[in-house]
């Protein structure tokens, strides 16, 4: 569903009028297009200036140069920047933040529309030193605050390094490319942890899933259809799964992406085995599994009945657990696939009238975190994407005033597109994200309500 207000105030008279009236002025976001520049201008790389701390910033700058980017180590006066990359992996005390952060601050006004700020630092949990942990956790507050200050579709996000990862690990570089690109248009104020040095960069950045076979549940419409289209665009062969009642829409999507359709109720006990069999029989592999299928049966908890509760739990989380068990127990899959589940910000912050839905989506988050070691043992990864307000048929049915308020309650002051969710999933399903597992990435424009 189009957001006509955002279209109106994004340019010319509409933007001027909104400014005079003090109304929100969201802009049309910079989204990914094949062949378009990764960033809309030069990239400024900033690191600590202490003696002996210049090696990693210079090496990272060289890596970005190899991507064909215009890289700066020092900002030029009044030059519009496409991105600022702030390397903070060596901070030891809160005082260490001052010089690099305030150096970046002097260039924030020069950030182009749709620009990016990305920090690279280490997890606070990986340090037993209170001062070091304080400095690292302080970066969290900096990034989330800056994300709320930026305008014109610019975003700020962070990459956290686990004990086995370094700034030039494949997973770090993959996350950096994602955050710099238009693929992350509706991801703002968020962090991804790169736990290991696993992964590899794709030979063709525009076809990172070439040769992969991807199964997408709930693929007949909405976010699921967008996921199928995006994974196909990135090179994957698609198995589109949905209930028999959605058969006509499912066939349309499968034909559009030149994939195959599997009409299946994912709550049946043998759903996992049937998915595996179909993927192997029709495509010879199963490399990516996207758990997108989900339902809502909203009601205040005081009025909740057994049927509403059970159906939501059955579809949204119990089915995923059974299918994952089948994947992990299958003798026909020598390597576990990359699994990406669709959670929700409702599972993080809660939502009125959605206790059943929030339980199921919170369950997805718990499942992902606990399953990461199990998938790692079989060569796979598992992550979740938690959408916020996304423009779908479901949100289009929300009363107009409520819908408008919900759209504006994030740092980007607009709803996301189904493709924004799909882009995050495509990244997490790629080899570049091989060092990332057990993570939950919010695609919500930095929603200002709740968590």
Tokens of 169: 């690990």
Answer left, alpha or beta for residue 353, where phi above 0 means left and psi between -120 and 50 means alpha: left
For residues 49 and 87, the answer to whether their CB atoms sit within 8 Å is no
Distance of CA 241 to the CA centre of its chain: 22
Q: Exactly one of 5, 357, 389, 427 is catalytic; which is it? A: 357
Which regions of 231-373 does DSSP assign to beta strands (E)? 237-242, 260-263, 288-291, 338-342
Tokens of 35: 């062949």
For residues 239 and 279, the answer to whether their CB atoms sit within 8 Å is yes
H or E stretch covering 22: none
User: How many Å apart are CA 208 and CA 218, to the nearest integer?
Assistant: 23
For residues 9 and 151, the answer to whether their CB atoms sit within 8 Å is no
Tell me the H-state helices in 156-296.
Answer: 170-180, 222-233, 247-256, 271-283
Angle (nearest 5°) at CA 380 between 376 and 381: 80
CB neighbour burial string for 162-194, b if at least 16 within 10 angstroms, e if fewer:
beebebebbbbbbbbbbbbbbbbbbbbbbbbbb
For residues 260 and 250, the answer to whether their CB atoms sit within 8 Å is no
> Is 357 tagged catalytic?
yes
User: Which one-letter DSSP state was computed for residue 430?
Assistant: S
Place of tokens 């718990």: 366
User: Which one-letter DSSP state was computed for residue 218?
Assistant: S
User: How many Å apart are CA 435 and CA 441, to the nearest integer?
Assistant: 15
Active site members: 357
């Amino acid at each position: 569903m189009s957001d006509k207000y955002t279209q109106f105030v994004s340019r010319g008279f509409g933007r001027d009028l909104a400014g005079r009236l003090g109304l929100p002025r969201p802009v049309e976001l910079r989204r990914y297009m094949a062949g378009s520049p990764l960033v809309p201008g030069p990239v400024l790389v900033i690191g600590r200036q202490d003696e002996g701390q210049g090696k990693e910033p210079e090496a990272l700058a060289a890596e970005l140069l190899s991507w064909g980017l215009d890289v700066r180590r020092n900002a030029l006066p009044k030059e519009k920047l496409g991105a600022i990359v702030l390397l903070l992996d060596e901070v030891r005390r809160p005082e260490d933040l001052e010089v690099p952060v305030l150096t970046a601050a002097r260039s924030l006004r020069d950030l182009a529309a749709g620009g990016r700020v990305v920090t690279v630092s280490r997890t606070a949990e990986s340090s037993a030193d209170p001062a070091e942990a304080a400095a690292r956790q302080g970066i969290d507050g900096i990034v989330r605050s800056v994300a709320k200050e930026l305008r014109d579709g610019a975003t700020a996000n962070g990459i956290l390094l686990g004990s086995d990862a370094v700034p030039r690990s494949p997973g770090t570089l993959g996350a950096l490319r994602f955050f710099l690109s238009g693929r992350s248009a509706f991801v703002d104020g968020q962090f991804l942890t790169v736990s290991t040095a696993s992964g590899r960069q794709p030979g063709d950045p525009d076809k990172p899933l070439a040769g992969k076979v991807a199964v997408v549940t709930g693929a007949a419409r909405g976010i699921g259809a967008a996921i199928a289209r995006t994974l196909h665009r990135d090179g994957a062969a698609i198995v589109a799964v949905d209930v028999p009642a959605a058969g006509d829409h499912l066939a349309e999507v499968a034909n559009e992406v030149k994939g195959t359709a599997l009409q299946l109720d994912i709550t049946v006990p043998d759903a996992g085995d049937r998915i595996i069999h179909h993927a192997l029989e029709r495509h010879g592999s199963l490399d990516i599994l996207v758990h997108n299928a989900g339902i809502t049966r909203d009601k205040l908890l005081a009025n909740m009945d057994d049927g509403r509760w059970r159906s939501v739990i059955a579809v949204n989380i119990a089915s995923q657990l059974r299918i994952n068990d089948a994947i992990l127990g299958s003798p026909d899959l020598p390597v576990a696939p990359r699994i990406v589940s669709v959670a929700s910000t409702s599972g993080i912050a809660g939502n009125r009238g959605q206790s059943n839905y929030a339980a199921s989506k919170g369950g997805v988050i718990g499942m992902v975190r606990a399953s990461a070691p199990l998938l790692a043992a079989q060569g796979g990864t598992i992550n979740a994407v938690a959408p916020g307000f996304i423009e779908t048929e479901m949100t289009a049915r929300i009363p107009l005033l409520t819908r408008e308020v919900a759209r504006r309650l994030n740092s980007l002051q607009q709803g996301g597109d189904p493709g924004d969710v799909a882009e995050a999933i495509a990244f997490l399903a790629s080899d570049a994200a091989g060092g990332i597992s057990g993570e939950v990435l919010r695609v919500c424009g930095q929603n200002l309500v709740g968590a």
